[in-house]
Structures are given as structure tokens and as C-alpha cells.
Amino acid sequence: MSITFRMPGAVLTEREHTVPLVHADPSRGMIRVFTREVAAPDGVERPYLVFLQGGPGFEASRPATPPSGWMARALADFRVLLLDQRGTGRSTPVGPVLPGESASDQGEYLTHFRADSIVRDLELIRAELGVDRWSLLGQSFGGFTSLTYLSLAPEGLREVLITGGLAPISNRPVDDIYAATWQRVREANERFHDRYPGDRDRLRAILNRLDAEDVRLPSGDRLTSRRFRQVGMWLGSSSGFERLHQLLELPFGSPAFLHDAQAASGWERNPIYATLHESSYADGQATRWSARRLAPEDAVRGDLLGAEHVFPWMWDDYAGLRAHRRAAELLAEHRWPSLYDVERLARNDVPVAATVYVDDVYVERAFAEETARRVRGLRAWVTNEYAHDGVRADGERILGRLLDLVRGRA
């Protein structure tokens, strides 16, 4: 089923696709996956560029009117396919535990929402649309998924563009990854306090008051100091230092302060973001709450702000996560299958270009560069001009540069 709309500067075609929950066993039932095709008014027959969103657990970005940024650049060469990855957006949602459903049942269900399943969904959609090969643009987790695509079904790909998403691919211990991310976020904390030296005292005062007082958010949840430390998520984005400074300067406990503190993270809007986050790095291993085990003392009791670090206590402090608590505990002990075929990537013949951001708080530069060397033919652009979200901050330039690299023009 498809529906077509027109808006200034673009033609939109929306489709719902039916895919197996478990690709290896379609008898387990079917789920719905939603896509939205975006084309320039004169470009409805252009080749496809599939956009893979960050996450896991977030739907594709919605097109602006008129299209701008990376989307505007993409529409000059492509029609763009926006995928609401399974469990997100208009695809079949992952909800709370159903009556009669055990935590182990829910945990097993959630094992089918990783990158390997997303790739197999796309292969069914590609066949349904009659596409021989298409191009990929993968941001962050979408880049991880692109590497899985190159491992599982490279015959469906014309070219691959990756922004801030070169995952470790050689069964690197997940503890190595989280040790590196803690070091990167510590460096980001110091850069922030160098820019706004008065904010360290403000931050410490806020954390002390949250330990001493029962402060309630508009949702009714208590704003704990450990929850507040997660505003460090902003330190990885282009405008994040300013957003954090603007929060810290607000009067403590004011409606504006509480509203912005509640909105600082997206954990509850899409619960699988938290529940499946560490699994993104679990290439043939269990994670066993790696971010918590590797957390430095001042990230637990001091003033070090964390980033994309998941802790077991989140399923207490965030009401929107509580229904997944037991499943999250089980998945932390689950030994996940490998996502990447290192030998196949070493023989890769699909053109690939990728950004590697020097100060990326979320994806360790050293591991990204190691992956770049292991994927045959990958051309890397190592830059300190952008944070992790560079494609959102300056997408037209970044996409243009990657297209030049992948096509041998730079």
C-alpha cells in the first residue's frame, strides 16, 4: 500500500511493508515496517539513497518543507528512502509487557530488533520495490547498520556513505569500547568547563541539592542527581555546550529548569534506545552493563557528566522504562551473535566513504580508524570540524564531500 503527497520542493510516497518478526522463522508472525520516499518534483525516477537513522530505537527524520541540509543535497542526485526501523515511528511499536507475557518472552522478542534484522527488512523492501542496487547513508547507529549490510548483503548496494558510525568490527571487547567513551566524555567535560568556568560550581550546587531534596519533574518522576548527570549527552553535539550552559544558568527548581531537565534525554520516548543500546557494541558477546562497570567514581558520586552510558538504575528513575526492567536485565547477560563478517569486509568491492570525527564522544576515533583500514576500499575523511552530529549541523557539505570521495572526485 502506498500514498503519495506533494509539499513545497518534494514529492512524498509513504508505504507500509509487512516483514517477518524473525526472518529465519516467518511462522513467528509478521510486523509492519514504514518507509517514506522523498523525491524532488523532477526526480521521482532517480536512484534510491536509503537513510539509516541513529539509535538504536529512533525513527527516521521527518522531511522539512522545503527540504534543506543533507536532504536538499541528496535530492539533487537521488530519491531518499527514510526507514522507520522496526519498533520505531510508524512501524509496529515495541510497547510494554503484555498481559501474560513473561520478561524472558519480552527479552527474546527484543533480540530481533538489532541491525541484522533491519538489514533483512531492507532486503525484502528492496525486492518489493524492484530495485537492483541502492545507496546507503548511515548516521551513527545507521553507520553500524551499514557495516552489517556490507557483511550480509553487499550485492544489494551501489555505494555506502557513513557519518560518525564506523563501529568496531573485530569482536573487540565491549569493555574496551566503554573505557574509551568514558575517557572521551571526560575530555568533553573539561572542554565545556574551560569554555564556561563558572558552570562547574553551578553544576556541583545542583547535584548537591538534588541529593538533599525531593525535586519532581513535570512527569512526576524524581529528578535525581544521577539522572541529571545524563545531560552530558549534549556534550557530543554541535550545539550541546550552549544547551547545557543555558540549562545550568536557569534558577534551580523553576518551571523552565525542570522542563528542560526532563527534555534533556530521549530515553523514555523510545524505550528500546536504552534497552538495546549496549547491544549495538555486542559483536559476539554479552555486555553485562559495561558502561556501569567501567564508570569512573566521579561519574557516580562526583560532577562528571556521562553521555550515551546506560545504567540499571535508569529503569527505576525513568517511569517510561520500567516496563522493560526485567527484559533489560536479561539482555545484559545475553550473548549476542556477531554483526559483522570481517573476512567479507576485507574483500569488500562496494565503494564506501566515511567521516571520522576527531572529538566524537560516542564513537571512539581510534576504533573507527581501525575499522576504516579493515574495510577494503573505504575512504575516510578524518576531521575535527564537527561533532558527532555533523550531518545535521552541516549536512549539505558533508554529504557532498562523501559523494566526491566515494566516486573518486576527491
Please give the Cα distance from 273 to 88 (Å, whole number): 10
- The per-residue pLDDT for 96 is 59
- The per-residue pLDDT for 210 is 98
Q: Please, what's the largest Cα pairwise distance for the chain?
A: 62
**Cis? peptide before 63, omega within 30° of 0:** no
Whether the per-residue pLDDT at 265 is higher than 90: the answer is no
Residue with cell 542526485: 77
- Asked if 234 and 240 count as a contact pair (C-beta separation under 8 A), the reply is yes
Reduce the DSSP state of residue 153 to 3 states and report it. Answer: coil
**Over the stretch 23-60, which tens digit does the pLDDT of each residue have?**
999 999 999 999 999 999 999 999 999 999 999 999 99
- The per-residue pLDDT for 171 is 85
Q: In a 10 Å sphere around its CB, with 0-12 CB exposed, 13-18 middle and 19+ buried, how is residue 111 labelled?
A: middle
**Over the stretch 202-229, which tens digit does the pLDDT of each residue have?**
999 999 999 999 999 999 999 999 999 9
- Asked if 407 and 379 count as a contact pair (C-beta separation under 8 A), the reply is no
- The per-residue pLDDT for 97 is 55
Please give the Cα distance from 304 to 293 (Å, whole number): 16
pTM of the model: 0.96
Whether the per-residue pLDDT at 98 is higher than 60: the answer is no
- Asked if 292 and 332 count as a contact pair (C-beta separation under 8 A), the reply is no
Q: Which amino acid, residue 363?
A: V
pLDDT over 70, % of the chain: 99
- In CATH, what class is 2-171+338-406? alpha beta
**Over the stretch 326-364, which tens digit does the pLDDT of each residue have?**
999 999 999 999 999 999 999 999 999 999 999 999 999
| Residue spans of alpha helices (H) in 93-236 | 103-110, 115-129, 141-152, 174-195, 199-212, 225-228
- Residue 99: pLDDT band with limits 50, 70, 90: low
**Over the stretch 136-162, which tens digit does the pLDDT of each residue have?**
999 999 999 999 999 999 999 999 999
Q: Where are the domains of the chain?
A: 2-171+338-406, 174-332
- The per-residue pLDDT for 103 is 85
Grid coordinates representing 244 are 547545557
**Over the stretch 270-305, which tens digit does the pLDDT of each residue have?**
999 999 999 999 999 999 999 999 999 999 999 999
